[in-house]
């Protein structure tokens, strides 16, 4: 079973998504609501595979972005952003900041089930694209150190001190606390 938690403030939309997903024999639906603290608690209690996250949970899109980041950093759940906004650049940037595994426009709900299944099964092309975009803030040297941090072979000619300094800069640039969080969020690059 694929456990899907819905985080959405529009109750009518939640009903429609729930109705669609409950028809699937391999998907279990959990309603998360819109209160950010309660959603985070529910994610820790229920251990969903996928969180369907509305970007706009309150006053701004940052609510959904920040909550998605916390879910991705603290848990193994993947986040699929749901949005009524149809500005691809803005949505992609939001997905990148949220460390999301993908995004779906609410106008394209016919693709929801297949996106959920693909995301639950492994790392999708969209997930790699979003993660690569998040890493685009790194210099070439930092990208090489990032790969070392992910367990790849060290081919750098830099000193251990320089590499250690770059590790700290990488974590800071990505808005993370430490290398453990980095390895968790970008686990698809360990494979």
The model's pLDDT over 25-42, given as tens digits with 9 standing for 90+, comes to: 999 999 988 788 899 999
pLDDT of residue 60: 52
Work out the burial of residue 70: count CB atoms within 10 Å of its CB; fewer than 13 is exposed, 13-18 middle, 19 or more buried.
Answer: middle
Q: Which domain holds residue 147?
A: 138-189
pLDDT of residue 157: 80
pLDDT of residue 159: 87
The model's pLDDT over 50-103, given as tens digits with 9 standing for 90+, comes to: 999 987 766 555 678 889 999 999 999 999 998 887 677 777 788 888 999 999
The model's pLDDT over 164-178, given as tens digits with 9 standing for 90+, comes to: 999 999 999 999 999
Residue 150 pLDDT class (50, 70, 90 cuts) = very high
149, 90: one domain: no
7, 91: one domain: yes
b/e map 54-67, b = 16+ CB within 10 Å? bbbbeeebebbbeb
CA dihedral defined by 17, 23, 27, 29, rounded to 10 degrees? 40
99, 165: one domain: no
pLDDT of residue 129: 92
> pTM of the predicted model, to two decimals?
0.90
64, 40: one domain: yes
Q: Span 135-160, mean pLDDT?
A: 88
121, 142: one domain: no
pLDDT of residue 91: 79
CA dihedral defined by 150, 126, 40, 83, rounded to 10 degrees? 150
Indicate whether 190 pLDDT > 90: no
**Cα(26)–Cα(78) distance, integer angstroms:** 17
* Domains in the chain, number: 2
Residue 181 covered by a domain: yes
The model's pLDDT over 109-127, given as tens digits with 9 standing for 90+, comes to: 889 999 999 999 989 999 9
């Amino acid at each position: 079973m694929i456990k899907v938690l819905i985080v959405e403030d529009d109750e009518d939309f939640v009903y429609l998504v729930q109705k669609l997903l409950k028809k699937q024999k391999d998907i279990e639906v959990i309603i998360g609501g819109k209160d950010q603290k309660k959603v985070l608690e529910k994610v820790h209690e229920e251990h969903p595979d996928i969180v369907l996250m509305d970007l706009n949970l309150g006053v701004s899109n940052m609510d959904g972005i920040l909550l998605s980041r916390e879910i991705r950093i603290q848990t193994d759940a993947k986040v699929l952003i749901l949005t009524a906004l149809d500005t691809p650049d803005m949505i992609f940037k939001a997905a990148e900041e949220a460390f999301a595994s993908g995004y779906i426009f609410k106008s394209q709900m016919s693709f929801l089930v297949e996106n959920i299944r693909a995301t639950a099964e492994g790392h999708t092309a969209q997930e790699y694209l979003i993660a690569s975009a998040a890493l685009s803030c790194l210099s070439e040297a930092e990208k090489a150190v990032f790969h070392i941090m992910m367990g790849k072979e060290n081919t750098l000619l830099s000193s251990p001190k320089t590499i250690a300094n770059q590790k700290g800069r990488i974590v800071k640039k990505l808005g993370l606390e430490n290398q453990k969080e980095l390895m968790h969020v970008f686990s698809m690059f360990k494979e």
